[in-house]
Amino acid sequence: MKNQILFTFCFLLIVSFVHSQDATTSSPQEIDMKVRALGYRFYQDGERLTWNELTDATNSVEEANKLIQRAKSQNTLSNILAFAGGALIGIPLGQKAADSDPTWELAYIGGGTALIGFHLALRAFNNVNKGVDDYNLTINSTAQYKFQPEIKVLANSNGFGLAIGF
């Protein structure tokens, strides 16, 4: 009877040791980013990540994590500015539809606010794209160069423009 108990104890110890070894050998997976109409979607190992889970997943690569945190705050601020700009544009349009005297100054202010929000959204896209690419390149040592375009909004005395860098 003692031999059976000893054999069962040793068997369970070996099985638990092998199981714990299998659980710790998993390496970090690449993060996929997809741009949708209402924002970004991040996937790791087939599961969707939120912004907070994304920053937690990229803690091992400091530079990528900083870029992603910056992009998160820029994305939040751009959403707030876009909402406020749309509301300020909509007020005079509603007044015009109601056949009252619209205050077009609000629409001008709203247009400026929406442009600032658009600029921040582009910067957030560039930062999160670069952060995810940096993370994926760091965890995947066999990776080659990845295409990383940057989009910038330029303003000077001649007007506004978009610059695309490759």
Tokens of 75: 């994305």
Tell which wins on pLDDT, 6 or 103: 103
CA distances for 159 relative to 105, 109, 156, 162, 163, angstroms: 21, 18, 5, 11, 13
Q: Residue 34 above 80 pLDDT?
A: yes
Encoding tokens for residue 56?
């937690």
Q: Note the pLDDT of residue 23.
A: 46
What does the pLDDT read at residue 40?
87
Interval 46-76: pLDDT, tens: 899 999 999 999 998 899 999 999 999 999 9
Residue in the structure block whose two tokens are 């751009």 = 78
Q: Which region among 35-39, 96-100, 102-106 has the lowest average model confidence (pLDDT)?
A: 35-39
| DSSP code at position 141 | T
Q: What is the pLDDT confidence band of residue 28, given thresholds at 50, 70 and 90?
A: confident
Please provide the DSSP assignment of 46-83 as one string: TEEE-HHHHHHHTTTSHHHHHHHHHHHHHHHHHHHHHH
pLDDT in tens, 106-129: 999 999 999 999 999 999 999 999
